[in-house]
Chain A
Amino acid sequence: MSVLVDRDTRVVVQGITGHQGTVHTRQMRQFGTQVVAGVTPGKAGTEVEGVPVFDTVRDAVEKTQANTSCVFVPAPGAKDAVLEAADAGLRLGVVVTEHVPFHDMLVMYPYARSKGMRIIGPNCPGIGAPAKAKVGIIPNVVFQPGRVGVISRSGTLTYEIVNGIREIGLGQSTCIGLGGDPVVGTTFVDALPLFESDPDTDALVMVGEIGGTAEEDAAEYIRHHFTKPVVAYIAGRSAPPGKRMGHAGAIITRGKGTAETKVAALEAAGARVAKFPYEIPALIAEAVRGARR
């Protein structure tokens, strides 16, 4: 078992003929992922990295039984690409594209949900389950099969932390980079139940950031419903207030959203909170030992 992806994952890469699409199609295949199709309108009949390209997702699904999309389509076309994937009956859409307007996500998210497709991202590194499948752009080298789950709002910081888990010899069950945008298809709270019910996950690393209340909401969920040990890290303890949504935004998150409130909420929920990323491997090793005892 793993979370959301496994050996039956069949990926269609939307935007496969672009630079990113091509590079990561190769990387995903090297990981062992079944990349069965690519979609770029107007490029049907061609191949990229030996993968057949179709004009539409519907064609790709009919010919290859793809069930998961990996979206590299640039931001102006990302909404259309995701709606198309949802409409073609895919179950999972991993949106790597960055700078997708949140107004577009406000349309994509409910539409995908109504069609039964989960979105991960946008602006995310994707998901990987070692020895099974990877959908997205997390570097192959950081993975190693193991029993630690990882969920993160960051990109490269996730690679760093996943790599740290590998270096101490623990390895991972599934790693999900949720993306750092204001509106994401899968939040911590959406992902936590998947790891709770995954028999291959013994403990979880959760990497958050300042801003928004996703970590506080996750803490609330962990307190009541999550039974496995959690090691958390919040980036941005020292950062000055960055992009703020103006006064009205502060009203919504009133009294939440800072590193302090997130750390306090997670500690109150029983999570061990690392002060710095390099403390995570030792803490998770301890948590895993505790869980097996």
Chain B
Amino acid sequence: MVKLAEWQGKVVFRKYGVPLPRGEVARTPAEAEALVRGGKVPLPCVIKAQVLAGGRGKGGAVRFANTPEEVRDAAAAILGLEFKGEKVRELLLEEKLPIARELYVSMTLDRAQRLPILITSAQGGVEIESVPDAQIDRQPVDPFPGLTGYEKRRAAKVLGLSGGPARSLGQVLDALWKTFQQEDAELVEINPLAVVGDALVALDAKVIIEDDAAFRHPEYAEVRDDRTELEEIAREKEIAFVQLDGNIGVIANGAGLTMATLDVLKELGGAPGVFLDLGGTDDPKKVTEAFLLMARARPSAVFLNIFGGITRCDTVAKGLVEAMQQVPAAERFPLVARIRGNNEAEGIALLRSAGVTAISDLRASAQAAVDAARGRA
């Protein structure tokens, strides 16, 4: 998924007509100071770290300033932060507004109902998880006909809005719906949505774009995220790559089989490290690519669990043996392989002759992998 930083989310919001405070992005204290001196951001203002983690206010990543000097100092302080493991590289400076109330609105997917859902609460400005259920309203929205007038009127009533703010809410919700649909979002969240005088203003923006819709949104390809080099390579090869704390590398095909493999390893006292999920495929080329990728992660041992449906096991085994020979001797690691399916016996024989522990029973092979990793630890 592509998580947009607040300022990026607000660029999207502006496109669809969500009312926003006046604001600008700065990357250095001098830039921040110049923005207020030049009148681009009025004083007093708020200076916010552009990081993806929540809880910025409490963590000192959001500060207020009344003068250009204060702006510069606050900017310098925040830019020096490492917030929940994320280095602060960008700041959003915004005018400070007189807030009457803080609300919560979001649009996301309700998997069980197979419908988008509008979530609202009069308790905005706090983490929504901490709000009691009774104070959260859920309104499924049917894509046919889309967000309707009565749904917006109902939301206004639930949030206790009337007159100008209620009309403003209608505009905000229309924009929320358009953002959700047209940007292929998994989540569009405004928290807090502030009542300022007669209108509403989005003080924050959280937009998460669905990965699977990337083909419709080349504009998000460049969005900064926190993938490591190996994760990036895996992504290009369409292999799911997840880094855990342990030392046993796991290669499997399919999310369910991968999870089941991790479950068994853990039960037997092993600690899964990097795991690679090839998806539903048993394409020998992909197995080989995954193996070489795994080698770069330097695991203590690797457990390969492939259920072959279409490909023959001996084809997969051959690719593996060839790939092993490409890994420098000093970087080799014990490999335990479990390959089930067509031509299983031939595959196992091939692997064994190359020095690989090949066992067809899941429990026994997982145990062998756990033991192999211990031997090296």
Complex Cα spacing A106 to B129, Å: 26
Tell me which residues across on chain A come within 8 A of B117, comparing CB atoms. 252
B213 touches A98 (CB 8 A): no
Complex Cα spacing A163 to B362, Å: 13
Interface residues of B in 196-226 (CB under 8 A from A): 206, 208, 210-213, 215-216
Interface residues of B in 243-275 (CB under 8 A from A): 244, 252-257, 259-260, 262-267, 272
**Residue on A with the closest CB to B309?**
A139
A249 touches B257 (CB 8 A): no
A214 touches B112 (CB 8 A): yes
Q: How many residues of B contact A (CB 8 A)?
A: 65
**Residue on B with the closest CB to A238?**
B266
B142, B213, B262, B363: the one within 8 Å of A103 (CB): B213
Contact string against B for A residues 248-282, beta-carbon threshold 8 Å, 1 for contact and 0 otherwise: 11111010000000000000000000011110000
B206 touches A106 (CB 8 A): no
A248 touches B254 (CB 8 A): no
Query: Which of B30-38, B68-76, B87-95, B182-190 lies at the binding interface?
Result: B182-190
Query: Dominant SS at the B interface?
Result: mixed
B112, B143, B257: the one within 8 Å of A110 (CB): B143
B257 touches A160 (CB 8 A): yes
A106 touches B119 (CB 8 A): no
- Is A137 on the interface with B (CB-CB < 8 A)? yes
Contact string against A for B residues 33-58, beta-carbon threshold 8 Å, 1 for contact and 0 otherwise: 00000000000000000000010000
Query: Which of A42-50, A150-158, A224-232 lies at the binding interface?
Result: A150-158
**Residue on A with the closest CB to B207?**
A246
B129 touches A247 (CB 8 A): yes
Interface size grouping (class) on chain A? 35 or more
A75 touches B259 (CB 8 A): no
Looking at B106, B252, B255, the one whose CB has the most chain A CB atoms below 10 A away is: B255
B108 touches A245 (CB 8 A): yes
Complex Cα spacing A98 to B361, Å: 29
Quick one: given A27-B310, A101-B210, A246-B187, are A213 and B259 in contact (CB under 8 Å)? no
**Residue on A with the closest CB to B308?**
A139
Contact string against B for A residues 172-214, beta-carbon threshold 8 Å, 1 for contact and 0 otherwise: 0000000010110000000000000000000000010110111
**Least CB distance, B119 to chain A, in whole angstroms:** 5
A101 touches B212 (CB 8 A): yes
A254 touches B133 (CB 8 A): yes
B108 touches A141 (CB 8 A): no
**Least CB distance, A138 to chain B, in whole angstroms:** 7
- Is A7 on the interface with B (CB-CB < 8 A)? no
- Is A72 on the interface with B (CB-CB < 8 A)? no
- Is B307 on the interface with A (CB-CB < 8 A)? yes
- Is B181 on the interface with A (CB-CB < 8 A)? yes
**Residue on A with the closest CB to B253?**
A156
A137, A213, A235, A236: the one within 8 Å of B309 (CB): A137
- Is B296 on the interface with A (CB-CB < 8 A)? no
**Least CB distance, A199 to chain B, in whole angstroms:** 29
Tell me which residues across on chain A come within 8 A of B342, comparing CB atoms. 139, 141
B212 touches A183 (CB 8 A): no
Complex Cα spacing A125 to B256, Å: 12
Complex Cα spacing A106 to B186, Å: 12
- Is A217 on the interface with B (CB-CB < 8 A)? yes
- Is A116 on the interface with B (CB-CB < 8 A)? no
B114 touches A156 (CB 8 A): no
- Is A291 on the interface with B (CB-CB < 8 A)? no
B181 touches A251 (CB 8 A): no
Complex Cα spacing A156 to B259, Å: 11
Tell me which residues across on chain B come within 8 A of A210, comparing CB atoms. 259
Tell me which residues across on chain A come within 8 A of B307, comparing CB atoms. 156-157, 159-160, 163
B128 touches A247 (CB 8 A): yes
A76 touches B112 (CB 8 A): no
- Is B1 on the interface with A (CB-CB < 8 A)? yes
A75 touches B187 (CB 8 A): no
- Is B15 on the interface with A (CB-CB < 8 A)? no
Tell me which residues across on chain A come within 8 A of B362, comparing CB atoms. 160, 276-278
- Is B227 on the interface with A (CB-CB < 8 A)? no
Complex Cα spacing A27 to B342, Å: 13
A252 touches B108 (CB 8 A): yes
Complex Cα spacing A152 to B254, Å: 13
- Is A292 on the interface with B (CB-CB < 8 A)? no
Extra contacts, 4 of them, besides A160-B340, A233-B260 (Cβ < 8 A), are A106-B143, A109-B114, A142-B309, A251-B136
- In order of increasing CB-CB distance, the 9 nearest A-B pairs are A154-B256, A139-B309, A157-B256, A156-B254, A238-B266, A101-B213, A235-B259, A236-B259, A155-B280
Query: Could you list some 15 contacts between A and B, CB below 8 A?
Result: A110-B144, A125-B280, A139-B341, A154-B254, A156-B307, A180-B256, A210-B259, A213-B111, A214-B111, A217-B112, A236-B259, A237-B266, A239-B259, A246-B108, A277-B362
